[in-house]
Structure 1
Amino acid sequence: MSRALDARTAPPTPVTLEDAQSVGAFLASSRSAETRRSYASAMRTFTAWCRVRGYRSSPTGPDVVASYIAHRAELVAHSTISRDVAAISAAHLDKGLGDPTARHGVRQALRSAGRTLGTAPSRRATPLTTVLMRQVIGAMDDLETATGKRDRAILLLGLAAALRRRELAALTTNDIARHDDDLLLRIRRSKADQTGRGDLIGIPLGAHPETCPVLALEAWLETSSRKLGEGSPVFSRIYNHSRIADTALSDRSISRIIQTRAAAASIKGKEYTHIAGVDQTWVSGHSLRAGHATSAAEAGVDAMTISRTTRHRRLDSLARYVRPAGAFEDSTAGKIGL
C-alpha cells in the first residue's frame, strides 16, 4: 500500500486560550440573545428532570429525550416541546457531541406529541387593529407631554410598519429618512433576517392627523431634540415625565407601553379569543405587528402585498391574520347553488 493511501490525518493544531475564547464568543452570536435565553431555560428544566431520575443530561441518549417528550406532553404545549428538543440538540452539537434528537424514536415521539396535543398555538397576541388604535389614541390624556408624544409615536409607527418590539427598540435616527412628505424606514436586522440583509419600508402620510405615524414621529423628534441622521436612539427613556434620556428603551419597555396604553383604553384582548380559535389572547409587544396584518387583510389587501411590509418569509405564518378576514372572499360556499 502506498504511503499516500496510508497517510494519517495530521493532528489538530492547538490554539491559545484567548483565540479559543474569541471563537466561542463569535459562534455564540449565531443565535439571537432571545434564542440563547430560551434554550438556556429549556436546558435548566431538562437537566433538573434528568437529575431527579438519575439520567445524564449531557451527553444523553435518544431514549432519555423520548421519555422527556412524553413527560412534557402532560404539562406544556407542542410548541414548547419542540423548543425543548431544539435546545437539547443545540447543546449537544455545540459541544461536538452526537445529536440524540436526530434518532427516529425521538422524532416519532415528537410527532406523537403533536397528534395528542395539536400543533395549533394555544396563545396568541391580540391584534391592535386600526379601529382599536383609534380607541387607544383617543384614551390618551397626555398627548401634550413628552411621554404621551413618545408613546403615540411608538404605537403608530409600530402599527404602520408592522414592527416587532425589538425592531422598535433598535431603531436609530440613521434608520429613518424623509421622502417628500413620507418616511423611509430601514430595518437593519430582524427575527427573520439574522444576517442583517435589511429591509426598507415606506411610511406614507396618514389620512387622519391624530393617527398619522409621520406626524406623530415628527412631534416626538422635535420634543426630544433629535435629528434624523445623527445616530441616536429614536425612542428613549423619560425620567420624571420630563427629562429625556439618551438611553434607548428596551424591547420589554416597548411591550409594557403597548400593554399599558391598551389597558387604559379598556382593551384586554380576551374578546378576540373565540375568533382566533385559541385558549388565550392578550395584548403584547407583538400586537402592533398582528394589528397591521389583520387590518390590511380586512381592507382586502392580498397576502403577497401584506408580506412585503410585514416581511413574512412564509405565507403560512401570515395566514393566521389573513385567513379570518378573507374567509368569505375565498369561500366557494355561496357559488354552488345552495
Structure 2
Amino acid sequence: MIESHALPAEIAHSGQLASLDALAAIPEEEIWLASQKSARTRRAYRQDVAHFMRTLGITAPEQLRQVDHRAVIAWERIMRERENAAASTIRRRLAALSSLFKHLVRHGTAPRNPVVDVQRPSINREEGSTAAFSKAQARRLLDAPPTDTVAGARDRAILSVGLQVGLRRAEIAALAVGDLHQNRGFDSLRVTRKGGRRDALAINPQAAARIRAYLTLAGHGDDHAGPLFRPLRGNAKAHDPAGKMDPDAIDRVLRKYAAGIGLSRGYSAHSMRATFITTALENGAQLEDVQKAAGHRDPSTTKLYDRRGYNPEKAASFFAIY
C-alpha cells in the first residue's frame, strides 16, 4: 500500500488506457493518493500514512482497512509521548489518515473511519507557532533591499507580496507576469491556491508599484505568460527567461533580509503570512475578508495566524524591577 509508483503509470501504456481489469486492480489507497491535486500534498500524505503503518506494524492493505479507533488512539499517544511530536504534526498526520479512510468508506473498501472519534491535540497559538514580525520590523524588511538593482527590486516586490498580500511562498513562486492586472479599477493578482484553485485579489497599491518597478528594471513586463519572479545571476537580468524561482528561494530571500536587519533565526517566508493576517485584523479588516485573502476554507485556520492576543511588551516580567 502507498508504494512509490504513480497512478498515471498504472493506468496508461504506450499512450493507451489500460484495460478495465487493470484499472480495477489498482488499490483504492493509490487512487485516493493520486486524487490529491498537489504533489506536495501527495508526498506528505504518503509519508503520514506510512508512519501510521510502520508504527503499528501494519504490512497489508487488508490490515489497514480493519483498524479501529483504538489503533489510532495508540498511534496518537506514541507520537505525543514517545516521539514528542509537535501538536501541529500530530494533527496533520491524523488529518491525512482521516482523509484516506473517508475515501475508503465512501467507496466501500473500509467499514468505518477510525479517526472520527479520536480527539486531536489543540494548538497553542503562541508557543511553537509561526513567528510573526512586529510592524516596525516589517517596515524595516520592506525597505531593506536596494532599489537600483534588478535583484533588489525583485526582492522588494517579493517581500511586499508576502507582507502586504499574504501569499504562501509557493503562491508567490507560481505568479506569472500577467497575473498582475486591473479589476474594477483596482490593481489585482490572480493567485493559484493549493489544489489549483484560482483566486483574484485586490492588492495594496505599494505592492503593485513594487512589482511594476521590478518588471521595468528586469525587462520582462511584456512576457505575460512567463514567470513573474525569476532566478538571477548576481544582479543581471534573468538568465533563463522560462525559469521561475522555487518556494525555497522565496524563503531564502526572506531569511537574507531578516538576518540583514539583525533578526534572530526562527523566521521563514510563512512569518510574512502570519504578519499580514495579524496586521490586517489589527487595523480593522474583517475576518472573512482576511480569510479570503489568505485562501483559507475555514476561518478557524485564519485565526491560528492571529497574534493580536500575544503582547510580549506587556509581559509581567518587565514590571518585576528590584
Q: Same fold (TM over 0.5)?
A: yes
* Partner Cα separation in structure 2 for residue 325 and residue 83 of structure 1: 24
Aligned match of 2:283? 299
Partner amino acid, structure 2, of 1:292: F
Instruction: Report the structure number with the largest CA radius of gyration.
Output: 1
Structure 1 residue runs without a partner (length 5+): 1-12, 206-211, 270-281, 328-338
Aligned match of 2:124? 120
Aligned match of 1:56? 59
Aligned match of 1:102? 113
What TM-score comes out, normalization by structure 1 length?
A: 0.69
* Per-residue deviation, residues 24-74 of structure 1 (Å, max 9, x unmatched): 7897143422221211222333343344xxx43633322443322221121
- Residues 1:127 and 1:179: Cα distance change in structure 2 (over 3 Å): same
* Partner Cα separation in structure 1 for residue 19 and residue 152 of structure 2: 58
* Partner Cα separation in structure 1 for residue 281 and residue 100 of structure 2: 40
Structure with more contact order per residue of length (Cα contacts < 8 Å, sep ≥ 6): 1
* Per-residue deviation, residues 127-153 of structure 1 (Å, max 9, x unmatched): 24543222123443x432221111111
1:36 paired with 2:42, answer yes
Partner amino acid, structure 2, of 1:202: A
* Partner Cα separation in structure 1 for residue 158 and residue 86 of structure 2: 32
- SS at 1:35's partner residue? helix
- Residues 1:119 and 1:126: Cα distance change in structure 2 (over 3 Å): closer
Partner amino acid, structure 1, of 2:200: L
* Partner Cα separation in structure 2 for residue 26 and residue 324 of structure 1: 39
Partner amino acid, structure 2, of 1:56: T
- Residues 1:309 and 1:119: Cα distance change in structure 2 (over 3 Å): closer
Asked if structure 1 preserves the Cα contact closer than 8 Å seen for 2:48 and 2:96, the reply is yes
Q: Which runs of 4+ in 1 moved over 6 A?
A: 18-21, 23-27, 94-97
1:134 paired with 2:143, answer no
Q: Tell me the matched-pair count.
A: 281
1:176 paired with 2:180, answer yes
Aligned match of 1:220? 214
Aligned match of 1:72? 79
Asked if structure 1 preserves the Cα contact closer than 8 Å seen for 2:33 and 2:45, the reply is no
Corresponding residue to 2:159 among 155, 158, 168: 155
- SS at 1:238's partner residue? coil
Aligned match of 2:248? 252
Q: CA shift at 1:170, angstroms? A: 0.8
Structure 2 residue runs without a partner (length 5+): 1-17, 312-322
- SS at 1:73's partner residue? helix
- SS at 1:183's partner residue? strand
* Partner Cα separation in structure 2 for residue 146 and residue 224 of structure 1: 6
* Per-residue deviation, residues 98-118 of structure 1 (Å, max 9, x unmatched): 448723xx555x32x63xxx4
* Partner Cα separation in structure 2 for residue 101 and residue 326 of structure 1: 41
What TM-score comes out, normalization by structure 2 length?
A: 0.72
Aligned match of 2:293? 309
